[in-house]
């Protein structure tokens, strides 16, 4: 299809699915539904390759979801860097946390009609080695330049004969006299405003969604912090093929991961949505001194260039999809703190569950589709709360702004240093492969209790009364950090 064909969608058709947005999740839904025989219209404001710094590290849970969808080869031929785990720094010390063993997890589910001809396995290319991904003992993630990954997904969309691509600005979600959603109005270059109809309309327009309020007027994300990002070039990574989290009681967390053979992304947390007026001075004073030595040359060069990019950190609990003809999904539905890097994993796992529920149904039977979307809200609670709550809890600990939180931060790092199950279990949550919210609760409070134990050990016998008081305050802080969000995710 040529670029001119991006403006020629037929408004006389009634599509099975109309998809608003061609970020990461939209193309996956479109491709999956097309392979199920559905007629799909996907609308995107601009199909050119975007330049963004979010959605660049995918955990094993996301890779496994792509395998289930038969789309894992989207990570190929874009100079993607395999990710084998995390390295956590704390006051100059470090601990390596590898991703889980495949033998400890359930096999990847292959979705009918989607997985065929080996499309659930990666290809060999310059940076992704098939043997490592397919035959290695441990799960792997991948980091990549966002725009290149997205271009691969969009190219998969272009190859599906059941999909019509349209470039235009969606200006309205259409409803009938019963307030049921029936499609969208699109402003198209040289055509003007055109109505397109569909049995099911997907709102997948990302973190800055214009249409999530079609689900609820109060479906608004909370924003309380930011990340400031830079591109580092030819950086020497402390632990190759690992994501890096740099912690300390004197500074906010810093995340670093390689996205291509030449480029590394570094994201520096700032505990407000209002950024410092002089970002370079803030980075030099509050971030630069804590950067690992091997990264300093590339960091210093990037800092001198002063090319900063920022993004707000948002939290948005999912609402139930109970509007006839509408499905809000991806970041338009549910967001969590990006510190855990779980956004794509949750979104892709949602797509897998969605296709399992409605992929083989007749979309003109809108009542049955709505019933399945209601069930989806509850079925996703097995995995989404784990990643969502973990991201919030980790940020609270890692950006510690009180003595109790700083104690928990130190306790968390010391807990990781114990090794064994103290790293094997937590990394399963971060990797998005352990869908058990109550096990996450047990692990979080094991960290809190270990922090209290360290306090007693530090205070000694004579300091028992003080340690007891500190322990009580640490436990109360842990409850306040963790419990409200878990209950909100589970009960909401």
Q: What is the pLDDT of the chain when averaged over all its residues?
A: 95
Distance of CA 143 to the CA centre of its chain: 12
Q: Is the dihedral of CA 145, 385, 367, 35 positive or negative?
A: positive
Question: 122-134: per-residue pLDDT in tens?
Answer: 999 999 999 999 9
Length of the chain: 492
The candidate with the shortest Cα–Cα distance to 90, out of 422, 420, 411, is 411
Q: Give the pLDDT of residue 1.
A: 43
The candidate with the shortest Cα–Cα distance to 452, out of 440, 464, 437, is 464
- Contact predicate 68/356, CB 8 Å: no
According to DSSP, the β-strands at 192-203 and 326-328 are parallel
- Give the predicted TM-score (pTM) of the model: 0.96
Beta bridge partners, 478, equal none
Question: 254-292: per-residue pLDDT in tens?
Answer: 999 999 999 999 999 998 989 999 999 999 999 999 999
DSSP 138: B
Q: Is the dihedral of CA 416, 420, 421, 425 positive or negative?
A: positive
pLDDT band at 363 (very low <50, low <70, confident <90, very high): very high
Quickly count: other Cβ atoms within 10 Å of residue 321's Cβ.
22
Query: CA-based angle 481:61:291, to the nearest 5?
Result: 60
Task: Give the tokens for residue 412.
Answer: 């968390």
| Mean pLDDT across 323-352 | 96
Spell out the domains of the chain, with CATH numbers in brackets: 3-89+106-219+316-381 (3.50.50.60), 222-314 (3.30.70), 400-491 (no CATH)
Q: Give the pLDDT of residue 5.
A: 86
Task: Give the tokens for residue 487.
Answer: 């209950």
- Residue carrying the six token digits 């947005």: 21
Distance of CA 371 to the CA centre of its chain: 27
Whether 453 has a pLDDT exceeding 70, the answer reads yes
| Mean pLDDT across 403-423 | 96
Q: Is 413 left (phi over 0), alpha (psi -120 to 50) or beta?
A: alpha
């Amino acid at each position: 299809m040529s670029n001119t064909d991006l403006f020629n969608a037929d408004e006389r058709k009634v599509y099975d699915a109309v998809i608003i947005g061609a970020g990461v999740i939209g193309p996956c839904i479109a491709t999956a539904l097309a392979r199920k025989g559905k007629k799909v219209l996907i609308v995107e404001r601009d199909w050119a390759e975007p330049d963004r710094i979010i959605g660049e590290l995918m955990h094993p849970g996301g890779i496994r979801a792509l395998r289930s969808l038969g789309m894992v080869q989207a990570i190929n031929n874009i100079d993607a860097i395999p990710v084998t785990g995390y390295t956590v720094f704390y006051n100059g010390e470090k601990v390596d946390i590898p991703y889980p063993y495949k033998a400890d997890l359930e096999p990847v589910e292959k979705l009918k009609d989607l997985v065929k001809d080996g499309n659930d396995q990666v290809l060999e290319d310059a940076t992704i080695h098939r043997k490592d991904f397919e035959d290695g003992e441990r799960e792997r993630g991948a980091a990549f330049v966002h725009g290149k990954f997205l271009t691969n997904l969009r190219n998969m969309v272009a190859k599906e004969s059941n999909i019509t691509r349209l470039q235009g600005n969606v200006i309205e979600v259409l409803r009938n006299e019963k307030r049921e959603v029936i499609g969208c109005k699109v402003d198209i270059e040289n055509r003007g405003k055109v109505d397109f109809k569909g049995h099911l309309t997907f709102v997948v327009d990302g973190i800055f969604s214009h249409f999530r309020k079609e689900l609820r007027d109060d479906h608004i994300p909370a924003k309380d912090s930011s990340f400031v990002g830079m591109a580092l070039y030819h950086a020497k990574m402390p632990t190759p093929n690992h994501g890096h989290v740099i912690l300390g009681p004197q500074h906010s967390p810093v995340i670093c991961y390689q996205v291509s053979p030449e480029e590394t992304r570094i994201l520096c947390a700032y505990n407000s949505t209002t950024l410092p007026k002089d970002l370079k001075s803030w980075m030099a004073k509050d971030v630069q001194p804590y950067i690992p030595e091997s990264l300093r040359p590339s960091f210093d060069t990037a800092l001198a260039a002063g090319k900063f990019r920022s993004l707000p950190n948002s939290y948005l609990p999912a609402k139930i999809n109970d509007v006839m003809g509408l499905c809000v999904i991806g970041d338009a539905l549910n967001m969590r703190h990006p510190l855990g890097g779980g956004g794509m994993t949750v979104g892709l796992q949602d797509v897998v569950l969605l296709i399992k529920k409605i992929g083989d149904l007749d979309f003109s039977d809108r009542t049955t589709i709505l019933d399945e979307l209601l069930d989806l809200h509850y079925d996703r609670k097995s995995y989404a709360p784990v990643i969502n709550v973990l991201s919030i809890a980790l940020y609270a600990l890692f950006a510690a702004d009180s003595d109790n939180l700083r104690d928990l931060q130190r306790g968390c790092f010391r807990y990781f240093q114990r090794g064994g199950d103290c790293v094997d279990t937590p990394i399963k949550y971060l990797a998005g492969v352990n869908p058990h919210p109550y096990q996450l609760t047990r692990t979080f409070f094991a960290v809190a209790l270990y922090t209290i134990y360290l306090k007693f050990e530090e205070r000694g016998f004579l300091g028992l009364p003080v340690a007891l008081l500190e322990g009580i305050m640490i436990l109360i802080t842990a409850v306040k950090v963790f419990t409200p969000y878990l209950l909100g995710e589970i009960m909401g």
